[in-house]
Chains A and B, each alone.
Chain A
C-alpha cells in the first residue's frame, strides 16, 4: 500500500514538474476588460496552435492604467506582454523591447517595410528608424455619427452613404445641426465627449497645431487660432452641443443613443458600441466637415513586449507578437472580433457583417487623408500632460470664465513648464 502511494506521489510530481516545464506561462496586461475579452479569444486560438504556451490576459481599469503601469515599471516587474492605447504608449517606450530584427526574420520584411505597410498615422507610434517596439492591434479614426431617422425626418443628405458625396463645409455643417435640431425638436444637435482629443480632432480640421512634433507650443502662431476656439465654444453657447457634456461630464453616448442629440462627434469605435446597444440600424458614420482640410485623426491599440530579463519567456512573448503582427495569422482574427479597423494599408477584413464592411470604407477614407503630424503631435510627452489643462480651460470658456486668448496664453505657459521639467 505504502509503495503504491509513493509511486503515485512520484508520478504526480513528475507530471507536475514536466507539465509546467513544457508550458511557458506568460502574462499579458490589458487596459480594460472589453479589450481583454477579445484578446482572450485570440489567445485561445494561439494556444491551440501552440500548446506549449499559456497566456493569461489580465485587465486593469482604463482610467488607472498608466498609474498601474508606471508602478509596475518602477517596481521592475513588468508583464511579458502588454496591450496599450495610443494615449499611453509614448510614455512607456523606454521599457519595451525592440522586435525589429524578429519582424525581419519572421515576416521577411525589413522594419521599415513593415512600418510602411501601416497607415502613416499608425507608423508614428511603432518606433523610430529601425526600431519596432510595438505592433498595432486595433485602429480607430474620428468621424461624425448621425441618427439616421432624425436626418431623414429633417430631409438632410449626409456623406458619403446618405445621398451626398462631398463633406459639408463648416458653415453647411452648422446649418445642418440647426436644422436637424429644429425639425426633430431635440434639445440639442450634437454630442462631443469631454476630452482634449475630441477638441484636437476639431482643431486639426483648421490645420492648427497646438504643439509641433517636438512638443513646442506653436498655437499662438496661427492667425485664426482664437477664432477656432471661439467657434468651438459657440457650439455650446448656441445650445447645439449640450454644455452638460463638458461641464459635468454627461455621457455623450447616452445623449446620442437616447435621442437627445442627432449627431455624435466620435469615431470608428462607435461601431462596436452601437452593436452592443443594439442601435446598429439607427446610426451611420459620416465624413467630418471640411474647414481647411478634412480627415479623421487616429488612435488605437498596440501590443508590446517589455524587457523582463527572462530569456525563455521573452522568446515566447516575441513569438506571440509576431503572430499578431502577421496579417495572415493572428491579426485578422483579432480585428474581426474587435470590430475595429485594420491598421495595415490595403488590408480589407471580412467582418461577416455587411454594416461593418460599409462603415469601414467610410473610416478608411478619413484615416488615409490624415497627415502624420496629427498623430506625431499627440505622441509627444508634452501633449499627454497638457490634455487635462486644455479640456478644463475649454469648460471654463463654455461657462464664459475665460477667453480664447487667455486659454492660448495659459496653454503656452503650461507647455513650456512641462517641456522644462522633462
Chain B
C-alpha cells in the first residue's frame, strides 16, 4: 500500500469525532471494566475483589434470566419495527405537504418524554383502571392482564417499544429511499415491472446500507434502553420483563453494588456486540463500499 498523509488517507476526518468518542465513551467503558474487579458503593472506599464479581455473576440466575428476557424482547421487537418503519418510509417518502405533516405524527412518539408516554400507556393497559380493559368489559369481554401476565406483559412492552422507535427508523428509511435515483425505477417500468417487483428487486437491495443501519440500531436500542419497561412494569411480574440493562441498573443504584453492576454490564456489552456483529456480517455479505 502506498503511504498517504493524514489528509490524503482521509484520516483527518475521523480525528475530531474520536477525540470525543475516546473521552466520553471509551474511557468510561475502560473505567467501568476496571470497576468490575472492585466492590464499591460509591460512598465507602473501593475494595479489590479480583474475579469475584464475575464468578458471582455466573451463578446469578436472575442475571442470566434478564439476558434471556432481553433477547426475547429484542427479537420480538426488531422485525416488527423493521416492517412498520419500512412501510411508513415507503408511504411517506415523497416531499409533499401531506407526507411531511404525517411524518410528524409517527416521529412524535420518539420526541415525547418517556415519563409521560410510558405513563399514558400504563394507564391505557392497566388491569383495573385502564381504558382498554374498560372498553373490553363494556363490549362484554373479559378484562385482559396486559401487564400482569408474564407472557403478555412482554408483548405489551414490546408494542410500546415499537411505537417509540418506528418513527425514528422511518426517518432513516426516508433518507435512504430518497437517495435512490428515479432512473432505476424508470428502467424497470419500461421492462414492465409491477410495483411489488420494483420494491422487491430494486428498492430493497439498494437499501442495503439503510437496512443494516435500521437493524443494528434497533437491536442496540432494544438492548440498551430500559426506560419503557421501568415505567410500565418496573420489570415485573417477578422478573418477566426485567431486561438486562434494567437488572444491571438496579444492582448499581438500588442495591448500590457498582462493581457487580459494572461486571454485569461488561458481559451484556460483549454478548450484544457479538450478536450485532454477526447480524451485520450476514447482511453485508462481503465488502459494501461504493456499491449501490
Given the known inter-chain contacts A388-B254, A388-B255, please indicate yes or no for A248 contacting B43, CB distance below 8 A. no
Q: Are the CB atoms of A401 and B238 closer together than 8 Å?
A: yes
Task: Spot the interface stretch: A29-37, A65-73, A220-228, A315-323.
Answer: A65-73
Given the known inter-chain contacts A249-B234, A392-B238, please indicate yes or no for A244 contacting B42, CB distance below 8 A. no
Q: Are the CB atoms of A67 and B253 closer together than 8 Å?
A: yes
Residue in contact with B147 in the complex, picked from A247, A258, A396, CB distance below 8 Å:
A247
Task: Spot the interface stretch: B89-97, B126-134, B191-199, B208-216.
Answer: B126-134
Q: Are the CB atoms of B237 and A399 closer together than 8 Å?
A: yes
A254 at the interface (CB under 8 A from B): yes
Q: Are the CB atoms of A244 and B128 closer together than 8 Å?
A: yes
**Contact indicator per residue, chain A 241-253, by CB within 8 Å of chain B (1) or not (0):** 0111011111000
Q: Are the CB atoms of A74 and B239 closer together than 8 Å?
A: no
Residue in contact with A248 in the complex, picked from B47, B148, B239, CB distance below 8 Å:
B148
Q: Are the CB atoms of A250 and B239 closer together than 8 Å?
A: no
| Chain B residues positioned under 8 Å from A53 (CB to CB) | none
Residue in contact with B129 in the complex, picked from A248, A260, A389, A392, CB distance below 8 Å:
A260
**A218 vs B145: C-alpha distance when bound (angstroms):** 37
B153 at the interface (CB under 8 A from A): yes
**A71 vs B122: C-alpha distance when bound (angstroms):** 31
Given the known inter-chain contacts A247-B238, A249-B236, please indicate yes or no for A242 contacting B43, CB distance below 8 A. no
Which residue in chain A gives the minimum CB-CB distance to B231? A249
**A241 vs B54: C-alpha distance when bound (angstroms):** 39
A421 at the interface (CB under 8 A from B): yes
* Contacts of A236-281 to chain B: CB distance below 8 A: 242-244, 246-250, 254-255, 258, 260
Q: Are the CB atoms of A421 and B253 closer together than 8 Å?
A: no
**A124 vs B128: C-alpha distance when bound (angstroms):** 40
**A22 vs B41: C-alpha distance when bound (angstroms):** 40
**Contact indicator per residue, chain B 220-258, by CB within 8 Å of chain A (1) or not (0):** 000000000000111111110000000000100111110
B265 at the interface (CB under 8 A from A): no
Which residue in chain B gives the minimum CB-CB distance to A387? B254
B161 at the interface (CB under 8 A from A): no
Give the secondary structure class of A's interface.
helix
**A71 vs B236: C-alpha distance when bound (angstroms):** 29
Question: How far apart are A232's CB and chain B's nearest CB, in angstroms?
Answer: 16
Q: Are the CB atoms of B42 and A71 closer together than 8 Å?
A: yes
| Chain A residues positioned under 8 Å from B74 (CB to CB) | none
**A254 vs B145: C-alpha distance when bound (angstroms):** 17
Q: Indicate the size class of the contact surface on chain A.
A: 35 or more
Q: Indicate the size class of the contact surface on chain B.
A: 20 to 34
B150 at the interface (CB under 8 A from A): yes
B39 at the interface (CB under 8 A from A): yes
| Chain A residues positioned under 8 Å from B41 (CB to CB) | 70
Q: Are the CB atoms of A244 and B238 closer together than 8 Å?
A: no
**A188 vs B143: C-alpha distance when bound (angstroms):** 14
Q: Are the CB atoms of A243 and B148 closer together than 8 Å?
A: yes
* Contacts of A365-390 to chain B: CB distance below 8 A: 385, 387-389
**A385 vs B44: C-alpha distance when bound (angstroms):** 14
Question: How far apart are A306's CB and chain B's nearest CB, in angstroms?
Answer: 12
Question: How far apart are A387's CB and chain B's nearest CB, in angstroms?
Answer: 8
Given the known inter-chain contacts A71-B42, A194-B234, please indicate yes or no for A244 contacting B253, CB distance below 8 A. no
| Chain A residues positioned under 8 Å from B39 (CB to CB) | 421
Q: Are the CB atoms of B129 and A247 closer together than 8 Å?
A: no
**A194 vs B234: C-alpha distance when bound (angstroms):** 10
Question: How far apart are B226's CB and chain A's nearest CB, in angstroms?
Answer: 13
Q: Are the CB atoms of B128 and A248 closer together than 8 Å?
A: no
A47 at the interface (CB under 8 A from B): no
Residue in contact with B234 in the complex, picked from A64, A248, A255, CB distance below 8 Å:
A248
**A134 vs B174: C-alpha distance when bound (angstroms):** 58
**Contact indicator per residue, chain B 5-45, by CB within 8 Å of chain A (1) or not (0):** 00000000000000000000000000000000001011110
Given the known inter-chain contacts A248-B236, A399-B237, please indicate yes or no for A388 contacting B250, CB distance below 8 A. yes
Report which residue of B42, B232, B235 has the largest number of chain A beta carbons within 10 angstroms of its beta carbon. B42
A94 at the interface (CB under 8 A from B): yes
Which residue in chain B gives the minimum CB-CB distance to A258? B129
Given the known inter-chain contacts A71-B42, A73-B43, A94-B43, please indicate yes or no for A248 contacting B233, CB distance below 8 A. yes
Residue in contact with B126 in the complex, picked from A71, A74, A244, A396, CB distance below 8 Å:
A244
| Chain A residues positioned under 8 Å from B129 (CB to CB) | 250, 254-255, 258, 260
A395 at the interface (CB under 8 A from B): yes
Q: Are the CB atoms of B236 and A242 closer together than 8 Å?
A: no
Residue in contact with B42 in the complex, picked from A70, A187, A243, A249, CB distance below 8 Å:
A70
| Chain B residues positioned under 8 Å from A385 (CB to CB) | 255-257
| Chain B residues positioned under 8 Å from A249 (CB to CB) | 233-234, 236
Residue in contact with B127 in the complex, picked from A244, A387, A395, A422, CB distance below 8 Å:
A244
Q: Are the CB atoms of A187 and B128 closer together than 8 Å?
A: yes
**A127 vs B14: C-alpha distance when bound (angstroms):** 56
| Chain A residues positioned under 8 Å from B145 (CB to CB) | 244
| Chain B residues positioned under 8 Å from A73 (CB to CB) | 42-43
Q: Are the CB atoms of A250 and B253 closer together than 8 Å?
A: no
**A255 vs B130: C-alpha distance when bound (angstroms):** 11
Question: How far apart are B259's CB and chain A's nearest CB, in angstroms?
Answer: 9
Question: How far apart are A184's CB and chain B's nearest CB, in angstroms?
Answer: 14
In the complex, the 3 A-B pairs of residues with the closest C-beta atoms, listed nearest first: A247-B237, A248-B147, A70-B42
Q: Report 28 cross-chain contacts, Cβ distance below 8 Å, ordered by A residue.
A: A66-B253, A66-B256, A67-B253, A70-B256, A187-B128, A194-B234, A242-B127, A242-B128, A243-B148, A244-B126, A244-B127, A244-B128, A244-B148, A246-B236, A247-B237, A248-B127, A248-B147, A248-B236, A250-B122, A250-B126, A250-B129, A254-B126, A387-B254, A388-B254, A395-B237, A396-B239, A421-B47, A422-B44
Given contacts A250-B128, A254-B126, A421-B257, 18 further A-B contacts (CB under 8 A): A70-B42, A73-B42, A92-B43, A95-B43, A187-B128, A242-B128, A244-B128, A244-B147, A247-B147, A248-B232, A255-B128, A385-B255, A387-B254, A389-B255, A392-B235, A395-B236, A396-B239, A399-B238
